[in-house]
């Protein structure tokens, strides 16, 4: 049974007190931020007065943004680990409201810079050396000026960000607090609690009855609320379409990719390569069915262990192995990572009732990184920890190296850093832990990782594109429509090798909060592709490639994403890295077949 949050050992939780010691201190910070907004707003209409006024405003803006970040991290993180804590949920909603008010107060910045003119801004920067750091921001704005609205419209867009985020709040409340699941059962009638913090470990359970009943219970819990969940998702999609139209983009896809300076061809190249390589997945499903000795292969068998010995990996052991795997990046990198995990309590690893599904890394300039996950002492948890530490170390270096305006990086590069860590650690373990059982477990984990990022996520990206296009043209969409679209896409992906329960597979769209992040999921697949290319360079070239990779982490948002990756050593404008990643996937299937005869 999952324990209540109050019963969790403190060493398994993150140290939110390092952000604010008490909720009362958080309240005081909120009042402080509100007190700063009139000063920020007083610069409206004044930036044209000259570079000295702009130099006054930017530090005030950055300091307030830093405080806003700390306020949001404290509130959102507390609610993520315990949706049953109503006070924490309330603070999270309050923080979203503050983000909207802050955004509205500074919404004049971009329209006024556009009005000043880019030739004038560049002259100011040439004449005022202290302003030269602003050059990349100005260059980005010039490229996006066609989609910058008037000051009044930008203010409204900032103000509506809070109500337009309501669908995401509804989703989190439903899935984290209100949704209930039947217990899973084993062949002897014993029960195991199904919850967001336990479902992943149940999906990898050695007993097929446990896996089947857990998978069915989890899907049925979502199906019972399919209409509410569909209404919530459609609210989020309509918000995406609203923003797309207000900003003058041709599609929701372009509206998501263009602000990160990613051509839409990158998305379509990925989907094309994915569809061409589906036979690799079909071969893997057939191999798994044969190895497990099943007449029929079901979705709940995809993560079934192929050996009877499941390696037990305590948290400290996982940290040691991750540090060893990342050693090519240098002692500083490893030392920061180890302190974060074992001394500074970056990681909330407890499995408790009310905790959100999945895993994430968060933080802001002025805090250390934070990682939420549910650690289950297995190789899958080790891999998840490595992935989130990739995000966290990216954030650590970016925030330490860049000013506030450049300390945040785009999601496109974020998933390269996270998958880089997984691939580095996996390579180290495959080279050093030669026990056959452990090798099999490592390849199973690798295939599970690929399954999530190179099968599930591209399939959901196709679903996301279809749903957005339907809403854009005003076509009717219902819960059953969403289930049907998802089932069709997964049936294509599974081919004839996997038995498809259309309703339970079709509700997969409702199980991922990523669906509320406009065209996020495709970046997992581009990320894993870029990561494998960079890992190959670090392992073959050594220190020079490692130094380029660390420069990439430190760059934050100060470079265009595709340019930063190219300087690190991979060109994701081309489909070639995705093709190479699929070749690596096919090699893992061959290696698994050889290990198991």
Q: Please, which pLDDT band fits residue 233 given cuts at 50, 70 and 90?
A: very high
Mean of pLDDT over the chain: 95
| Average pLDDT, integer, range 285-296 | 94
pLDDT in the model for residue 67: 98
Say if residues 394 and 430 touch (Cβ distance below 8 Å).
Answer: no
Using CA atoms, how far apart are residues 39 and 395, in angstroms rounded to an integer?
29
Using CA atoms, how far apart are residues 2 and 357, in angstroms rounded to an integer?
13
| Average pLDDT, integer, range 394-405 | 97
pLDDT in the model for residue 293: 94
CA distances from 51 to 116, 120, 367, 552, 577 (A): 11, 10, 31, 30, 44
C-alpha 252: how far from chain center: 19
Using CA atoms, how far apart are residues 588 and 449, in angstroms rounded to an integer?
12
Longest Cα–Cα distance in the chain: 79
| Average pLDDT, integer, range 499-525 | 95
pLDDT in the model for residue 446: 92
**597 has a pLDDT exceeding 80:** no
Contacts of 343 (CB under 8 A, 6+ apart): none
**98-133 pLDDT, tens digit each:** 999 999 999 999 999 999 999 999 999 999 999 999
**What SS3 class is residue 198?**
coil
Q: Which residue has the tokens 């893997």?
A: 284
pLDDT in the model for residue 13: 97
Tell which residue, 192, 403, 421, 223, has the closest CA to residue 325. 421
Tell which residue, 458, 548, 450, has the closest CA to residue 266. 458
**The one catalytic residue among 216, 254, 388, 444:** 388
Q: Please, which pLDDT band fits residue 295 given cuts at 50, 70 and 90?
A: very high
CA distances from 236 to 50, 291, 461 (A): 40, 42, 15
| Average pLDDT, integer, range 49-68 | 97
What are the backbone dihedrals phi and psi of residue 355, each rounded to the nearest 5 degrees, phi first? -80, 145
Using CA atoms, how far apart are residues 369 and 389, in angstroms rounded to an integer?
9
Say if residues 507 and 486 touch (Cβ distance below 8 Å).
Answer: yes
pLDDT in the model for residue 595: 86
**In 326-369, alpha helices (H):** 331-342
Identify the CATH homologous superfamily for domain 168-308+453-516.
Oligoendopeptidase f, C-terminal domain (1.10.1370.20)
**In 45-134, alpha helices (H):** 51-81, 86-105, 109-116, 118-127
pLDDT in the model for residue 268: 96
Domain assignments of the chain as residue spans, ordered by start = 5-164, 168-308+453-516, 315-440+533-560
**543 has a pLDDT exceeding 90:** yes
Instruction: Give the whole-number percent of the chain exceeding pLDDT 90.
Output: 93
Using CA atoms, how far apart are residues 508 and 516, in angstroms rounded to an integer?
14
Q: Please, which pLDDT band fits residue 356 given cuts at 50, 70 and 90?
A: confident
Is-catalytic flag, 388?
Answer: yes
**549 has a pLDDT exceeding 80:** yes
**What SS3 class is residue 347?**
strand
**What kind of architecture, by CATH, is found in domain 5-164?**
Up-down Bundle (1.20)
**307-335 pLDDT, tens digit each:** 878 899 999 999 999 999 999 999 999 99
pLDDT in the model for residue 596: 83
pLDDT in the model for residue 101: 96
* H helix or E strand, kind and range, residue 185: strand 184-185
**What SS3 class is residue 298?**
strand
Higher pLDDT, residue 184 or 440: 184
């Amino acid at each position: 049974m999952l324990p209540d949050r109050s019963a969790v050992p403190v060493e398994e939780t993150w140290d939110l007190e390092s952000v604010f010691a008490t909720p009362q201190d958080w309240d005081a910070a909120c009042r402080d931020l509100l007190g700063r907004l009139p000063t920020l707003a007083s610069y409206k209409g004044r930036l044209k007065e000259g570079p000295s006024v702009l130099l006054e405003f930017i530090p005030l803006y950055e300091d307030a943004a830093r405080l806003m970040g700390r306020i949001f991290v404290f509130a959102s993180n507390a609610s993520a680990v315990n949706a049953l804590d109503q006070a924490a949920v309330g603070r999270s909603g309050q923080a979203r409201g503050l983000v909207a008010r802050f955004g509205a107060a500074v919404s004049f910045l971009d329209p006024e810079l556009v009005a000043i003119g880019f030739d004038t801004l560049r002259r100011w920067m040439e004449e005022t050396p202290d302003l030269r750091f602003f050059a990349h921001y100005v260059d980005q704005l010039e490229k996006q000026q066609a989609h910058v609205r008037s000051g009044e419209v930008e203010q409204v867009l900032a103000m509506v960000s809070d109500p337009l985020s309501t669908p995401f709040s509804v989703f989190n409340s439903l899935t984290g607090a209100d949704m209930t699941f039947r217990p899973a059962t084993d062949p002897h009638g014993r029960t195991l609690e199904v919850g967001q913090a336990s479902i992943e470990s149940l999906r990898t359970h050695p007993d097929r009855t446990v896996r089947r009943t857990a998978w069915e219970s989890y899907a049925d819990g979502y199906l019972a609320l399919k209409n509410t969940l569909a209404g919530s998702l459609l609210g989020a999609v309509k918000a995406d379409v609203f923003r797309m139209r207000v900003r003058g983009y041709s599609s929701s896809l372009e509206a998501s990719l263009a602000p990160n300076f990613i051509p839409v061809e990158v998305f379509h190249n990925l989907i094309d390569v994915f569809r061409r390589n589906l036979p690799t997945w079909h071969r893997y499903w057939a191999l798994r069915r044969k190895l497990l000795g099943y007449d029929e292969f079901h979705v709940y068998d995809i993560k079934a262990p192929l050996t009877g010995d499941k390696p037990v990996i305590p948290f400290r052991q996982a940290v040691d192995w991750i540090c060893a795997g990342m050693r090519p990046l240098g002692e500083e990198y490893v030392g920061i990572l180890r302190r974060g995990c074992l001394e500074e309590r970056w990681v909330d690893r407890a499995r408790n009732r009310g905790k959100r599904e999945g895993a994430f890394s968060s933080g802001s300039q002025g805090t250390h990184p934070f990682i939420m996950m549910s650690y289950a002492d297995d190789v899958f948890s080790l891999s998840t920890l490595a992935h989130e530490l990739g995000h966290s170390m990216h954030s650590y270096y970016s925030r330490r190296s860049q000013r506030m305006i450049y300390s945040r990086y785009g999601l496109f590069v974020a998933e390269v850093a996270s998958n880089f860590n997984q691939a580095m650690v996996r390579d180290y373990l495959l080279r050093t832990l030669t026990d056959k059982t452990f090798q099999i477990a490592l390849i199973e984990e690798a295939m599970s990782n690929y399954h999530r990022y190179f099968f599930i996520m591209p399939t959901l990206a196709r679903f996301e594109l279809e749903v957005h296009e339907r809403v854009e043209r005003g076509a009717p969409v219902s819960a059953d429509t969403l289930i049907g679209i998802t089932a069709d896409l997964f049936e294509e992906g599974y081919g004839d090798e996997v038995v498809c329960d259309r309703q339970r597979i079709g509700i997969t769209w409702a199980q991922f909060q990523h669906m509320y992040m406009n065209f996020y999921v495709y970046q997992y697949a581009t990320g894993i592709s870029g990561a494998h290319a960079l890992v190959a360079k670090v392992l073959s070239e050594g220190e020079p490639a490692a130094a380029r990779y660390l420069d990439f982490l430190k760059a934050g948002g100060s470079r265009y994403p595709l340019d930063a990756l190219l300087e690190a050593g991979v060109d994701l404008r081309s489909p070639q890295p995705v093709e190479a990643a699929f070749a690596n996937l096919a090699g893992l299937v061959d290696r698994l077949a050889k290990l198991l005869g």
